């Protein structure tokens, strides 16, 4: 019981530190940390100005992890991401100039603006945690996590992410506009001197160590899951494959991801076991970017989230 309380205390310290800069969005902050505990990557969708960058920068500061950012553009080259070798005339030798992937938390801003070749270079690093530069492979940090953003409104000059690339993201988060009360507080914070460009003045400090993060990851992997919940996860994913509204349903990787993310969510709640509610809550960010809808469903105005809700209503919840 003492271990459970210690875990809950650590999570509350982290969220409390992030709330110094982020107003509301507690659920999204939890999802970002779920991805870290599962060693997965995050796709964040939202219009400009909804604090997507601020969330990742605040998370990196609260965890004491290195942060870097790439602004994706149509002319971005793979070498701009992973790095390159530069020949130094004076020394007569090549020197490796590492790219922004040699960090721990990487914000890939507007990832859908980069051409396929550049997206593939980043995908290799995401999958292998290795960067290939001029034929040589270089390891990167074990904490390396990509937080990729995309604008759901502006599509001109973009390269939509193919399904194979989308499937590599552990979760997809939708960032909505704040409530009126939250926006009032954002304005008050700005009026009182809060500057999103200077998080040091906001008093945000590192409250978890790398050792804490490693310990939490190990705890997620060792968490108990009742066999009935494993069957429940399988039935939910199978239901996506049989839905008349879905062209391509969840893969076995979706099942694994849903179970793993549920264990991470239970850990954040300070529990040493998974409940059906953990699965039902995390299924939306896990599946919404993995499902390919039938054209008729899209014409009807149905979204992936609508169909997931229907599936949750249809599949029996284990006791």
d(CA 171, CA 183): 26
Render pLDDT for 75-109 as a digit per residue (tens, 0 to 9): 888 888 888 888 777 777 778 888 888 889 999 98
d(CA 184, CA 182): 5
Render pLDDT for 191-233 as a digit per residue (tens, 0 to 9): 888 877 777 777 788 888 888 889 889 999 989 899 999 999 9
Q: What is the pLDDT of residue 1?
A: 47
Chain-wide mean pLDDT for the chain? 86
Model pTM score: 0.88
In this structure, how many other beta carbons lie within 10 angstroms of the beta carbon of residue 91?
Answer: 8
Sheet of strand 145-150, all strands in order from the earlier edge strand to the far edge: 67-71, 105-109, 145-150, 42-45, 171-174
Q: What is the pLDDT of residue 157?
A: 57
d(CA 8, CA 244): 41
Task: Give Cα separations from 265 to 28, 156, 278 (angstroms).
Answer: 12, 36, 6
pLDDT by residue for the chain (319 residues), tens digit each? 455 677 778 888 888 888 888 888 888 888 999 999 999 999 998 887 788 888 888 898 888 889 999 998 888 888 888 888 887 777 777 788 888 888 899 999 888 888 888 888 888 888 888 888 887 888 888 899 999 998 776 656 566 777 877 888 999 999 888 888 988 888 888 888 887 777 777 778 888 888 888 988 999 998 989 999 999 999 999 999 998 898 888 889 999 999 999 999 999 888 889 999 999 999 999 999 999 888 888 788 888 999 999 999 999 999 8
**CA nearest neighbour of 70 among 149, 162, 160:** 149
Q: What is the pLDDT of residue 279?
A: 95
User: Which domains does the chain carry?
Assistant: 2-221 (3.40.50.300), 223-319 (1.10.8.80)
């Amino acid at each position: 019981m003492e271990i459970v309380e210690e875990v809950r205390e650590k999570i509350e310290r982290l969220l409390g530190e992030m709330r110094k800069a982020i107003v509301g969005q507690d659920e999204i902050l939890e999802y970002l940390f779920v991805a870290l505990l599962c060693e997965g990557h995050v796709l964040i969708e939202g219009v400009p100005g909804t604090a997507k960058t601020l969330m990742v920068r605040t998370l990196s500061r609260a965890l004491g992890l290195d942060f870097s950012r790439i602004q994706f553009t149509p002319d971005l080259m793979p070498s701009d991401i992973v790095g390159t070798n530069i020949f130094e005339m004076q020394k007569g030798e090549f020197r490796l100039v590492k790219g922004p992937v040699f960090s721990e938390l990487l914000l890939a801003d507007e990832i859908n603006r980069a051409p396929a070749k550049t997206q593939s270079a980043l995908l290799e690093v995401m999958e292998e945690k290795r960067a290939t530069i001029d034929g040589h492979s270089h390891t990167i940090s074990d904490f390396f996590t990509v937080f990729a953003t995309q604008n759901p409104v502006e599509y001109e000059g973009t390269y939509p992410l193919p399904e194979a690339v989308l499937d590599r993201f552990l979760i997809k988060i939708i960032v909505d506009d704040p409530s009126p009360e939250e926006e009032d507080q954002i304005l008050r914070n700005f009026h009182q001197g809060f500057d999103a460009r200077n998080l040091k003045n906001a008093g945000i400090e590192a409250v978890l160590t790398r050792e804490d993060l490693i310990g939490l990851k190990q705890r997620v992997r060792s968490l108990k899951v009742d066999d009935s919940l494993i069957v429940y996860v399988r039935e939910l994913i199978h239901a996506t494959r049989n839905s008349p509204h879905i062209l391509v349903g969840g893969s076995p990787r979706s099942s694994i991801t849903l179970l793993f993310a549920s264990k991470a969510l239970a850990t954040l709640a300070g529990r040493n076991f998974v409940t059906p509610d953990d699965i039902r809550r995390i299924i939306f960010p896990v599946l919404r970017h993995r499902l390919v809808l039938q054209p008729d469903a899209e014409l009807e105005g149905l979204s992936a989230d609508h169909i997931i809700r229907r599936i949750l209503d249809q599949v029996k919840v284990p006791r």
